[in-house]
Structure formats: structure tokens, C-alpha cells
Amino acid sequence: MTIERPGAVKARGNPVTLIGPEIKVGQKAPDFTAVGQGFKPVSLKDFQGKVKVLLSVPSLDTQVCSTETKKFNEMAATLPRDVQIAVISMDLPFAQARWCGANGVDKVLTASDFRDRQFGEAYGVRIKETGLLARAVFVVDKNDVVRYVEYVPDIVQEPNYEAVRKAVQALAGG
């Protein structure tokens, strides 16, 4: 049975329906498979033993997503090696690679949910009306327990970078 959450977030002030459960702090992070560079599978298991920052964004080719991804790329350069930041969108992997190359983004991993939509539905961020992913941040500890969740209220807003940094530093010891 598909879970629908009408009005869970907004898109430019208009309520939208999110597909999938609302992820809560303290729960086990759902596994997923997305498509990485070279169309290689990327899953939560690939980051075992690391603190994971999973960023859900609508499209790297939009201003807010672009700004957010660049800021997290800068943040990644200052975090311990045991932290992995992954940006997941519906953009195709070669579009993500092109965008990263054009914007000097090389510290975060990008993955696409276009093929199976596992991430969007597992983390409750797939927008029913558009098929895109809502803007959200999930910080997952080394044991795959969710320690921070932010479903950004309107997808045109940026996440709380400082709260994410504090959550990561508490888990990574830095």
C-alpha cells in the first residue's frame, strides 16, 4: 500500500503530496538503490561505517538546488573523512556529472532516483504531482540510524545548513 502525505510540503507556496512514509529521528534508515555515475548502483550499504548526509533535491539545474549542493560541497571539504554527503535527485546521471563538472562540485556524491524511485518512496520525498523529489536532509549515523531529519517546508527554500553541520559534527566527532 502506497503512503500519501497530502500537503506535507509546498512547492512555491502550493501544497503538494509526498509519496512514502515520514522518516523520524531514531528509526533505522531505509536502504535504497539509486543510479550513480556511469549508471552504477548506489545504495546506503555503500557508505557503511560512515556518517551519511542524504540530500534530496528536485533538480541540480535549478537555482536553489544548485546553491544548496555547492554549499554542501564546501561543507564536505571541512568534515572528517568518515562523512559521506550524497545528493539525490531525479536528474539523469550524465546531467548530474555535467552539472558537477561545470560547477566544480567534487566533494559530494550525486545519484539519480530516476530508474526505480526507491529513495524517493523510502524516504517519503517523491512529489506525486511532479514526480520530482522534495527538498529534504537526512543525517544517518554509522549504524544506519537516522539522527537528523529536515523536510524543507517549501522546496524553494534552502535547508538549515548550520543544524545539519551540528548534527554531523556530533556524530563524526568534529
Decide if 15 contacts 151 (C-beta within 8 A): no
Given 18, 34, 42, 65, the catalytic residue: 65
What is the DSSP pairing of strand 83-89 with strand 51-56? parallel
Give, in degrees to the nearest 5, the angle at Cα 36 between 149 and 89. Answer: 45
Single out the residue of 67, 49, 51 nearest to residue 59, CA to CA.
67
From CA 141, how far away is CA 3, in angstroms rounded?
Answer: 26
The verdict on whether 100 is a catalytic residue reads no
Decide if 139 contacts 167 (C-beta within 8 A): yes
Q: Which residues are catalytic?
A: 65
